Amino acid sequence: MLIFVIEITLYSFVDISILDYSLIKIKRFINIQNILERRNNMVFEKVKQYCEEKKISIAAFEKLCGIGNGAVARWEKDESRPSLQSLEKMQQATGIEVTEWLR
């Protein structure tokens, strides 16, 4: 009888630990998603600011950088995120470091 109780307690502990671990992973994923969304918006805002300073349209910016037509609009709407390749193209075209676009 005592062995049975210990096994139940161990299984209960294991289940709770797995559940806790899963919840921690979910919370981390949500936090990462929130950070990425904020970064996504920050990149869009920096592109918008750059375009205003240079007095060019966002479409002209996309063409200048060689990134997809409508890519920046998709970043604004959180439909996609800037790829490293796009950020590198932006760096080459504007002289602004990738790290600056992401700050």
Cβ neighbours for 75, distance < 8 A, ≥ 6 positions apart: 40, 41, 43, 44, 47, 81, 82
Range of the domain at 60: 2-102
Task: Scan for tokens 């375009």, then name that residue.
Answer: 51
Burial (Cβ within 10 Å: 0-12, 13-18, ≥19) of residue 48: middle
CATH code: domain of residue 60: 1.10.260.40
In this prediction the pTM is: 0.63
Q: Greatest CA span in the chain, whole angstroms?
A: 80
Q: What is the pLDDT of residue 28?
A: 65
Number of domains in the chain: 1
Of the two residues 99 and 94, the one the predictor is more confident about is 94
Of 70 and 18, the structure prediction assigns the larger pLDDT to 70
Residue whose token pair is 């592109």: 47
Mean pLDDT, the chain, rounded, equals 77
Question: Who's near 5: CB < 8 A, 6+ residues apart?
Answer: none
Digit-coded pLDDT (tens) for 18-67: 556 566 666 666 655 565 566 667 889 999 999 999 999 999 999 999 99
